[in-house]
Structure 1
Amino acid sequence: MRQTLCIICLAFLIFGCSKSSDDNIEVGENPTDIGNEGTDLGVELFFPQENMLCNEGTNLTPYESTVFFEWQANKSGNYKIVIENLSTGAIIERETTEDIIPIVIQRATAYSWYVQTKSGGKTEQSATWQFYNAGPGVQSYAPFPAVINAPNMAQSITATTAVTLQWTGNDVDDDIAGYDVYFGTNSTPSLFAGDISATESNVPVTSGTIYYWKIITKDSLGNASDSGIFQFRVL
């Protein structure tokens, strides 16, 4: 009798221990993955916001203000922020280990910015955002320079008789009136199509030729911005 009782107790203990360890693992979970965090560095920009008017910051003079640039990353690391003045092309670069940094920029000016981060030999770059830094007395802001989508800068493409130029336009005042398309084989292309509302245009091409193009974005109050000249080669 005592032998039978011992066997029953032993079986109960084995079953109970087995169940207890299983209860710590959810259905479908791999025990070897517990505690292993993801290693993606993904950087997400936070402020100044995309295609918006930035009116937060410390105004130093009528021409400059300090703006806090802020972003979020999956893992901490070393960051490099790159800011471009879209009017002059001047570049500001700063390196930091924080995810927020104050930088002095010009007021009433359009900028683009992105952040690079490096950790463990791996580098990633955020999306590129545009914004306008607010300025005193400004009632209307020029559109952002058009973002060129296709063809890419210096791209070589195969085409027969035509290529579709594509771009994106944005304006903090939301009053874009139209686009002028400049296109040709000269490095300073001439007007190809004016005052179009679409954000793409078909242009005739010939094999073995380099083409140049740009987009002028215009708003309802006569303000305009220049995308800068892009080029592509038709094979």
Structure 2
Amino acid sequence: MLYQSMKIVLGPFLRLLWRPDARGVEHVPEDGPAILAGNHVSFSDSVFMPLVLPRRVRFIAKAEYFTEKGVKGWLKRNTLTGIGSIPVDRSGGDEATRALLAAQRVVENGELFGIYPEGTRSPDGRLYKGKTGVARLALTTGAPVVPVAMLNTGELQPIGRKFPRIGRVRLVFGEPLDFSRYSAHSYDRAFERAVTDEIMDAIRGLSGQEYVDSYAADVKSRSDDALG
């Protein structure tokens, strides 16, 4: 209910200011489960992707968003909870496993699930190596994977900017990728890696980004170490 209310109230305002140009929306199923796998260049990606779709999209969100203090933290926590976001501890381990299982329940319930295989926002606008959680989710549920490219949200809202600049948002949804026939290979690490790479290649084809065969989180960590 909160999700629909926010979309009804804020949707016209967001469309007026950022005039989203969405192509390939017809590739997103009108009903039934699907996994929307996109590049991640801006915090606002999770705002504009659902904005252009009639169906609700559920995402995972880093756990820190649910534990911030003060009024801002309370507002963010309740908003994310209200729209059905799933907290995930990006440090890995059991928390990440529980988040993946929660995502699996969303998909098996026939909903749309949005995921950024890079695991974090790109530090420089390039497309980084995808983590294999998206492949495991696709293989265990049999749901189609729709590649999504956010084309300029990183320019409108780069890292560190609280609100996106006014400008036209552009995004593209690609043709669904069907891995259901490979369900027997779930938990096969080599196969999951191959499926993930195929998904990332589809995203790269839509976005035109330069691809980097490294994890974005590792690149950020090395950059932080160098600055320190």
Higher helix share: 2
TM-score range, shorter chain: under 0.3
Higher strand share: 1
Higher relative contact order (CA 8 A, sep 6+): 2
Which structure is larger by alpha-carbon Rg, 1 or 2? 1
